Every structure is written in C-alpha cells, then in structure tokens.
Amino acid sequence: MTPRRTDALSRERIVEAAVRILDEQGEGGLTLRAVTDRLATGRGAIYHHVANKDELLAAAADDVVRLGDAPIRELALAVFDAIDAHPWLGAQLARDPAQPAVLRIWKGVGTQLHRLGLTGTALGDAGAALVNYVLGAAAARRAPDEAARKDYLEALAAQWAGSDPDPVVQEAAALLSEHDDRAQFLAGVDIFLRGISG
C-alpha cells in the first residue's frame, strides 16, 4: 500500500527530469537528491542508467539542442534560441567541448560551410571560428530572464562607466546597456560570413 512508481526507471526518464529541474531551478538546483526525489527513487538507482552527474548534464544538453538542416545563419540562431529557452545551456555547452551536443553543433556548422564551398584548412579554420563564436556568445548569456539580464547589464554599464573616464569606455558602456542581444548575435554571425567569403 505504499505509494510506488508504476513505470520503470530509464535513462530517458532521468534525463527528462534533469531538464525539468534545470529549467525550473537553474544549474544550482540540479542535485542527485533533487532528481531522485522527483523520480521517487533511491540515490543509487541513477547510477544504473547514467555514469555520473557530468554525463547527466551532457545528456540534458544533448536533449535540448535540436538542429535541423537549415543554412548557416538559421543554424546559429537555433543554438541561440535553445539557450534563450534554457538559460543553463550556455554554461553547459562551454563546460566540455567533447560532449555530444557540441559535436552535433560542429557537424552542422561543418556541413553548412561545406555547402558554401569551403574545404580543407579553410573549412577547419572557418568552422572553428564560427563554433567558438557561437559557444562564446552562448556562455555569456546566463541571466535567468530578460528583465534580470537587462538589470544586470545596466548595473554593469554603470559600474563600468564609473570606473573609467575614458570616452571609449563610456561609449562601450552605453552600448552595453542598450543593445539587442539577438540582433547583436546575428551581426556577429554576419561579420564572420563576410570574413569567410571576403
């Protein structure tokens, strides 16, 4: 008569629970205890389906990065939007360059750049540049919601402007608090594409 799970545990269900916890409570909220509580199971059960917490995080990221066959600009935007929807994702993608989600991004970028006619070293250099840019931009986006992010940027700009009378710093600080993240991200992609074709 004790309340018990009816469905068996599985890697899928564990990853699903992890994603939900990450979305609701952020990186700090994902503990093995939170996962086992949500799944109403014992601590050690997780380790029958996932090697450790790092693998669980990588699996959660992989679950959430979905890339179609779209051209390069849309592909970059898809990564951007995934991070927008899951604020913990940026930090996770930056954490391990060998995780499945990152390899998938590499593959997508490589495929699209190849279609643009790049091969050999030029393809490798351009691919690395674009992937590093996308992941760098990803890691920089980590405020939980747009309002908090705006507050943060404004506070940062104020602090920054106050710390240095240099007019260049002043101008940069102003831009920091006013820019549109998504537009600026795309502007960066376009700089890249110009640099590649030019």
Under the rule (CB under 8 A), what is the footprint of a copy of itself?
Answer: 91, 94-95, 97-98, 103, 106-107, 110-111, 114, 119-121, 123-129, 131-140, 142, 152, 156, 160, 164, 166, 168-169, 171-172, 175-176, 179, 184, 187-188, 190-196, 198
Residue 145 beta carbon to a copy of itself: minimum distance, rounded to whole angstroms = 16
Under rule CB under 7 A, residue 52 binds DNA: yes
Burial of 73 (0-12, 13-18, 19+ CB in 10 A): middle
Does 43 engage in binding with DNA (CB under 7 A)? yes
- Exposure string for 13-28, b = 16+ CB within 10 A, e = fewer: bbbbbbbebbbeeeee
- Write the DSSP symbol of residue 145: S
* 45 part of the interface to DNA, by CB under 7 A: yes
Say what angle helices 146-163 and 167-178 make with each other, to 10 degrees. 170
Q: Which does 160 bind (CB under 5 to 8 A by kind): a copy of itself, DNA, none?
A: a copy of itself
Side-chain half-sphere of 177: how many Cα atoms within 13 Å? 16
Q: Which tokens is 1 given? A: 């008569």
Residue by residue, what is the 3-state secondary structure of 119-139?
A: CHHHHHHHHHHHHHHHHHHHH
The answer to the question of residue 95 lying near DNA (CB under 7 A) is: no
Among 3, 6, 8, 98, binds DNA (CB under 7 A): 8
Residue 58 or 113: the one with the smaller Cβ distance to DNA is 58
**CA R_g for the chain:** 20
CB of 16 to DNA, least distance (A): 14
Rounded distance between C-alpha atoms, residue 26 and residue 180, angstroms: 23
Q: How far is the CB of 2 from DNA (least distance, A)?
A: 8
1 sits near DNA (criterion: CB under 7 A): no
The residue to which tokens 């393809």 are assigned: 123
31 binds, among DNA, a copy of itself, none (CB under 5 to 8 A by kind): DNA
Query: Under the rule (CB under 7 A), what is the footprint of DNA?
Result: 4-5, 8-9, 30-33, 40-45, 47-49, 52-54
